[in-house]
Chains A and B, each alone.
Chain A
Amino acid sequence: MTATAEDVIEMCSVRVGGTLFGVPIMRILEILGAPATQPVPLAPSYIGGLVHYRGEILTTVSLRSLLGMPAHSQPPDMLVFEGADGYFGLLVDAVGEVMTVSPREFEANPSTLDDHRKALFAGTYKLNDGLLVMLDPARFDPMQLSQ
């Protein structure tokens, strides 16, 4: 049986710590490898700093800090999304390959997950060799997070 276009979702896999996350590829404007970030004093802890992107200065959100993990020694990669207040960046440890998942493999967040993570994660896809945590870019909009 052949899967139709609606049946599969293309996900860009990203890694933070030991967890594999997936972001719908259609939502990503651009992926930047290890951009230079400029820290912002007094900013909320989840802000990963500023990144120069095509003449604009983007505010970035660090997924690592959001998940309460210590800073990583390697410079993070960045995904660019369009948010309510213009573009913003999401900093992740590393961007992996693009994979296709099927909605049939999707499950909502398990009830044992803490509330903070439940608010961030959109659900999970079961892969053959592990889990892929689905991320919804809208939830990482700095505007959204600041509320």
Chain B
Amino acid sequence: MTREFLIESQEGLDRMERCLTELEERPQDGELLADIFRSVHTIKGTTGFLGYSRLEALSHAGENLLGKLRDGGLLATADIISALLDLMDGLRAILRSIEAAGDEGHGDDHAIIERLCALQQTEIAPVESGQTLGEVVGHSSETRSAKRAAQIEKTSLLAHEPAAGQPRPQTQSSAADSTLRVDIDLLNQMMNLVGELVLTRNQILQANGADTGFTPLARRLDMVTADLRETVMKARMQPVSHVFSKFPRLVRDLSQQLDKRVRLQMEGQGTELDKSLLEAIKDPLTHSVRNSIDHGIKAPHVREAAGKAPEGLLTLRASQEGSHVIVEVIDDGGGIRVERIRDKAIERKLITAQKAAQLKDRELLQLIFLPGFSTAERVTNVSGRGVGMDVVRTNVEKIGGKVEIDSRPGKGTTLRLRIPLTLAIIPALIVRSGKLDFALPQGALFELVHLTAEQARTQIEWLENAPLYRLRGRLLPLVFLSKLLEQTEDAKAGAGCYIAVLNADGRRFGLLVDGLADPEEIVVKPLSAVLKKIGLFSGATVMGNGKMALILDPGAIAARAAVGLSADEEDVQEDATNLGAVDAEFLIVVIGAKHAALPLGDILRIERIPRSKVERIGWTPVLRFDSTVLPLEDSAGILDQQSDDRQSDSGAEVTVVVCRDGERYVGIAVSQVLDVASGSPLAEAGTDAIAAGVTLLRERVTAVVNLSRFPALPAPPAESIAIASMEMAG
């Protein structure tokens, strides 16, 4: 009974919190007021019945005030809203106490009750018609922070008193978090499916092996199971608004505390996420929002000086992208100054100065996620961000998600959390080692390399006792799964093996396995504590063939294998090189007679196109795809040359590399595509400045094609086609 009351009350207060922050914007919204009134009224009604006198007195005072507000006798000013928020905190504290200790605790609520009563007496001057109430609130907002500060002094003691007497429970409102509201239709659907499952089981039990009806039965069982799985998953899904709803209050309080003006905008609140994942991202999100307001968005006068609106904009956006949900925290604040990140990372010996010089801005930004980058004393001496960002990353990665950060100095910062839709079922690749099958989560898997027995003998190189493999010219440390697992049986001689290239926590390594089976969607089952202790397996699963497989934990394997290989510092450097490796890869092409390099990250696709498809606007060759036109760059005259050389061959094709330059696409005609290689930057002799436009590829100085150099099209695509046809006509 008490438990139900707690859950219901928490939900009521959550709703009230949402409504109150909205009320600040629309102080006259009768529906909002009625909603808040209902929440408090319900609590009052039930408490009286259960005999919680403190709760009853407090909610009674609130109800009186709310009643007046609802009937229009009072106007919801900032003062009143603050008082109501404090009332809510007071109610919450008592509820926590009831949940933890079973009684209401011994706090003194007189001050807040008096304040609520006093506010009831305040007579508001009748508002002139035509003047919106928003303005009234707006006026008072300037003095609000000062008043608020005074109120905090007065009331904060009261609000927290009940909790102060006893140890604060670790998980707030655990009773409410451990339950889930499920749509009754969904539950009925589940019940129907379970009924069908039972029927199918009965039929299967009666069928014997020779029965011809077995195949359709199996098919039906498959269908029912799939449907049931989907329905249960659906029941576990919750809109992100459950987490987002906490933020208006947080933003309001924080911005008042810090004397900043922040507007919170929330998008995609209906996006759904598994309940347990939703719980897991609550803390990282809170942390990020706090960071944005604390460090990202500057004080109003600083913003005005920078030519921005005094009110900062903080956007929380959720959207679904395939099997992931993307949650973004976007601020239009000062952004992160990359130089400071770099200096700090060098100062903290997380990266060497030479390495830092090679990293691009975007890569430097990612350094703030390194553990050890942020420490408590850092908060005071650096204005940038990064307080505990490694914790945010760890928490998100724990649930199989990823964190990215993007920042433009002066423009703002975007933090992007990429969360898998559900935890319980993950795509995995089944690999074999010795006689056993293991599941390797696809999330960490980058590529697979097959080695024949011959290749395995010759291409795996040894540095002392560390096996290495040259993957496109770079050394990839290898881990032999069978050795790691101390499997005694030898792999069949003469059989090949596979290298699964994994990226775990920024560490890249190859896991050598004996064989591969199909990729499969696996249902993750937890392991018992004894087996968890082994540390290499994150769970187990039952595969389609009925056999079981242990799920490998790439991060743990990397950590275990690296113990004897490299010291800590080298690890970090390894991290950094990998960060660098991702974007410093180039496609080597031949243009005319010269080698040139195209940044791999900018390349969209490589196409072979019949020469006859190339059209021209004036002198600019273009390609038309449906209703878009792609300018072609042909400095070496490859397009003409080929037409001259192969007059007879009308079907001659040209190779075009389609690249991205900012928003637009450009095509580059090339004679030949050679290979992909990673380049290293070259410094100008004497100045040591990084030379732009050249890179060292395969021990050869190669020019990097500068995409932005290419002229824009003379007019927007649709018109340019018109021009082209006109020219042709003329």
Contacts and interface: CB of A to CB of B under 8 A. Distances in A.
A95 B223 CA distance: 37
A42 B487 CA distance: 9
B529 A146 contact: yes
Contact residue range for chain B? 20 to 34
A42 B534 contact: yes
B101 to A, nearest CB: 27
Given A40-B550, A41-B485, A143-B530, A57 B436 contact: no
Nearest to A50: B548
Contact of A59 (B486, B531, B536, B549): B531
A143 B527 CA distance: 12
B542 interface: yes
Given A59-B531, A88-B528, A38 B485 contact: no
Contacts of A57: 525-527, 540-542, 548
B219 interface: no
Interface in B205-246: none
A145 B529 CA distance: 11
A126 to B, nearest CB: 35
Given A50-B540, A57-B540, A38 B531 contact: no
B646 interface: no
B527 A42 contact: no
Interface in B518-537: 525-531, 533-534, 536-537
Contacts of A119: none
Interface string A24-51: 0000000000001011111110010010
Nearest to B487: A41
A38 B528 contact: no
B528 A85 contact: yes
Task: Give the most central of B485, B526, B550: most A CB within 10 Å.
Answer: B550
A122 to B, nearest CB: 22
B529 A85 contact: yes
A142 interface: yes
A85 B531 CA distance: 12
A86 interface: yes
Given A59-B528, A85-B529, A88-B528, A43 B436 contact: no
Nearest to B550: A40
Interface string A51-92: 010001111000000000000000000000000011010000
Contacts of B525: 56-57
B717 to A, nearest CB: 56
Give the interface centre of A38, A88, A145, A146 by most chain B CB atoms within 10 Å: A38
Chain A interface mostly: mixed
Nearest to A147: B530
A80 to B, nearest CB: 13
A41 B528 contact: no
A145 B530 CA distance: 9
Contact of A43 (B531, B541, B549): B531
A38 B547 contact: yes
* A36, A40, A44, A59: most-surrounded residue (chain B CB, <10 A): A40
A4 B34 CA distance: 67
A91 to B, nearest CB: 15
Nearest to A40: B531
Interface centre among B530, B536, B546, B547, by most A CB within 10 Å? B530
Interface residues on A, range: 20 to 34
A44 B537 CA distance: 14
A58 B546 CA distance: 15
Contacts of B486: 41-42
Nearest to A41: B485
| A42, A47, A56, A88, most chain B CB atoms within 10 A | A42
Contacts, number: 63
B542 A143 contact: no
Contacts of B537: 40
Contact of B436 (A36, A39, A59, A85): A39
Interface in A93-147: 142-143, 145-146
A100 to B, nearest CB: 32
Contacts of B528: 58-59, 85-86, 88, 142-143
Central interface residue in A39, A41, A47, A50, by most chain B CB within 10 Å: A41
Contacts of A47: 530-531
Contacts of B541: 57
A39 B322 CA distance: 36
B201 to A, nearest CB: 13
B548 A52 contact: yes
Nearest to A87: B528
Contact of B485 (A42, A59, A86): A42
A87 to B, nearest CB: 9
A93 to B, nearest CB: 22
Contacts of B529: 85, 142-143, 146
Contacts of B527: 57, 59
Interface string B136-165: 000000000000000000000000000000
A52 to B, nearest CB: 5
B546 to A, nearest CB: 8
A39 B531 CA distance: 11
Closest 7 CB pairs of A and B: A41-B485, A59-B528, A38-B548, A142-B530, A57-B525, A57-B540, A146-B530
Interface of B: 436, 485-487, 525-531, 533-534, 536-537, 540-542, 546-550
Interface of A: 36, 38-44, 47, 50, 52, 56-59, 85-86, 88, 142-143, 145-146
Given A59-B527, A142-B528, A146-B530, 11 more contacts: A36-B548, A38-B540, A42-B485, A43-B534, A57-B526, A57-B548, A85-B528, A86-B528, A88-B528, A143-B530, A146-B529
29 contacts: A36-B546, A38-B436, A38-B549, A38-B550, A40-B531, A40-B550, A41-B485, A42-B486, A43-B530, A43-B534, A44-B530, A47-B530, A47-B531, A50-B550, A52-B542, A52-B548, A56-B525, A57-B527, A57-B542, A57-B548, A58-B528, A85-B529, A86-B528, A142-B530, A143-B528, A143-B529, A143-B530, A146-B530, A146-B533
